[in-house]
Amino acid sequence: MPARTLPTFTRAQVESHNSKKSCYVTIGSKVFDVTDFAADHPGGADLVFDYAGRDIEDILKDPTSHPHSDAAYEVLDDSIVGFVISEKAAAANGNGKANGNGNGAAKQLDGFCPIDAKDDPDVHPRTGMKCEEDLSKDTDYNTDYSRHKFLDLSRPLFPQIWFGGFSKEFYLDQVHRPRHYKGGASAPLFGNFLEPLSKTPWWLIPTVWLPAVGYGLYLASEAYDNQLWTLAYWLSGLLIWTIVEYGLHRFLFHLDYYLPDNRVGITLHFLLHGIHHYLPMDKYRLVMPPTLFILLATPFWYLAHIIIPYSWHAATAVYCGAIFGYVCYDLTHYFLHHQNLPLWYKELKKYHLAHHFLDYELGFGVTSKFWDTIFGTELQYRVKAN
């Protein structure tokens, strides 16, 4: 599935696509490739090619020629390939050019500013995000809802998702456009007695799971006179967690392409991970509630003992190592969003925020980029020097 982060074009680049073989038009800042659509245009292909490389916003609204319907704009939306930026902004990308390559694919995420830069001129065209302060700007509920017709942040979100009748395509596009609830508080999810159950403070994770890990290791260690065996199995579990973390994030939390196009699939996706991408700075929906983690972790308990049938103690030590890795993952995830961190973590923070605000279909590693590099999903972006 192609990345949803679209390239940028200068006006000159758009104007160069002015032939029957490559016909681009713009409406405001949006760039559309209408080459294939031209043959299906009700007014004939020649009328489309007459405006190749030009802006068509006025002509679409012209009552004399033909005011176009909402359906016409929906057809155009299927052909969007990028956004127009000024020559000045293009030059600021570091190579003097916009990143449009003429085929609608974003090869590299140029211009993503570092989270500590205060004067970067680039604003990402889809999310509108720029620097760290933009991540905490309150969303205007009324304006956002009237524009996108998605979710009203002033009302409980769960019934809106369940009864909204959203298509999968529309839902995925909207849920990955980050919003920010006023003051960084939690938006209402259920709006009733279930509301407290949907929130988990970060400190609950080590409080619940570290004692369990410690007790499990104690039981596992009883089988060995040399505790290096216990340590070896525990470290093995910690290593296994890193690939589990990557796999869960990529193939479960971002099951976007295979998501059922119905309200059950969309609602489950929203509750599991979609709400985090929709409201990524919500402090109480950043870590996994213990009840949900028990559901996800239970199969792995049995899997560990199936893989290591010769020793209950060894399997338990491996499992404890994996659970410890999960605790590190959840705490890292929280701190990447909400804390100032040492230098190495600052780079990791930029990487994870790029996953949210540039391209959610890449950059699945949270505690490290290792498996992204191995499996070719590393998110690359150009950070300009201050």
Whether residue 305 is annotated as binding a ligand: the answer is no
What pairing do the DSSP bridges indicate for beta strands 24-27 and 8-9? unpaired
Whether residue 356 is annotated as binding a ligand: the answer is yes
Return d(Cα 382, Cα 183) in angstroms, integer: 30
Whether residue 41 is annotated as binding a ligand: the answer is yes
Whether residue 355 is annotated as binding a ligand: the answer is yes
Whether residue 337 is annotated as binding a ligand: the answer is yes
Whether residue 17 is annotated as binding a ligand: the answer is no
Return d(Cα 302, Cα 319) in angstroms, integer: 10
Whether residue 124 is annotated as binding a ligand: the answer is no
Whether residue 254 is annotated as binding a ligand: the answer is yes
Whether 82 contacts 24, CB under 8 Å: no
Annotated binding site: 41, 68, 249, 254, 273, 276-277, 333, 337, 352, 355-356
Annotated binding site for heme: 41, 68
Annotated binding site for Zn(2+): 249, 254, 273, 276-277, 333, 337, 352, 355-356
